[in-house]
Amino acid sequence: MNAKENYLRMLRGEMPEFMPSFFEPYMAPVKEELLTPQTAPDGPIITSFGVTYIGNAENNWGAMPDPRIHILEDITKWRDIIKAPDISGRDWESYYKKKTENIDRENLCVMIDGGDFFLTLASFMGFENALLAMHEEPEEVTELFEYVSQFYMAVLRNQMYYMRPEVYVLMDDDSAYQAPFFSVDMYRRLIKPFHRRQCDIAHEFGAIVERHDCGKSEQFIDDWLDIGVREWNPAQISNDLKAVKRKYTGRLALSGCWDSQGPLSNKSVDDKTLKDALAEYTDTFAPGGGFTFGAMIGGPPDDPEANEKREVIKNFFFDYARNWYSTH
């Protein structure tokens, strides 16, 4: 069984043969230029909706809306300003054929992402203004989401039809590290219906849905399951992940679960402390399956000290964690 088959088995709620990890690639992400960029290493990116995204070395060039530029100041004026691009004449088939023609589909899942409704609103208005609009003008926000949704669904249907990806990642952060941005009730009223539409299209074409949601977002898990989510990344430790693991094993796989902001992710951690923590980490989240090993060391990819610790983690994975299911 290769890494792709093993990973898909885990996503289906079955026991994997070995523990999935990024040390054994199983995924081929395919980016769509019409949707929100994930990285901006080469300078500003202007999206199809006219939002400027920027990145910097300190956040590993992750794309973020330029905080100095808001294209929408008043949510009630969105119809005058927010214009989806005309995609009526796009050659979808040729575009996606070129995107996927060199992917080893026998060994790698094609993965696409999208569905970022709150983050799209925040990119138009800024974070604070987006939250105020959701509280003060929920009807206007819903109508804007409806407009954006029609565009996002059109793109997704073409992605699904021409690429047939195995995995669709619903990308829409809705929590800070210690608390959600809004209530579960507000999520259900304003955002979940549009997330459901995205997931329904993915399921229609046989894709498995993964949920990317940083921060303390465990309160949304039951809603994710309701719309068909099968995995959560990065499952940060500000959530009660042990309780989540106990309650949802077999229904929701966890990817990550590592203290990515604490001393264990710092290159100064000594090897024994790191290895002991890795053993506890593996033994905590491996039982029952549904876990993707995601321990990491922070810092630039070319930092030699950090790379030494990354090699410690890699060796630990292959020496202990990878075959945990056959040795325990």
Q: Kindly report, residue by residue over 136-169, the tens digit of the pLDDT.
A: 999 999 999 999 999 999 999 999 999 999 999 9
Domain 31-253 of CATH type 3.20.20.210? yes
Question: By percentage, how much of the chain surpasses pLDDT 70?
Answer: 100
190's tokens? 């304003």
Instruction: Find the range with the poorest average confidence among 41-50, 189-198, 274-283, 315-324.
Output: 41-50
Task: State which amino acid sits at residue 18.
Answer: F
Sheet of 45-46: strand order equals: 45-46, 52-54, 64-65
Domain ranges of the chain: 1-29+258-328, 31-253
Distance, in Å, from the CA atom of 117 to the CA atom of 150, rounded to the nearest integer, reads: 12
Task: State which amino acid sits at residue 173.
Answer: D
Distance, in Å, from the CA atom of 291 to the CA atom of 244, rounded to the nearest integer, reads: 12
Contact, 151 vs 84, CB < 8 A? Answer: yes
Model pLDDT, residue 58 = 76
Which pLDDT band holds residue 249 (cuts at 50, 70, 90)? Answer: very high
The mean pLDDT value of the chain amounts to: 96
Half-sphere exposure of 117 (CA within 13 A, CB side): 26
Q: Residue 54: which H helix or E strand, with range?
A: strand 52-54
Residue 60 has pLDDT above 80, yes or no: no
The dihedral formed by the CA atoms of 64, 70, 75 and 80, expressed in degrees to the nearest 10: -120
For residue 16, give every residue at least 6 positions away whose Cβ sits within 8 Å of its Cβ, in sequence order, or none: 6, 7, 9, 10, 289, 325
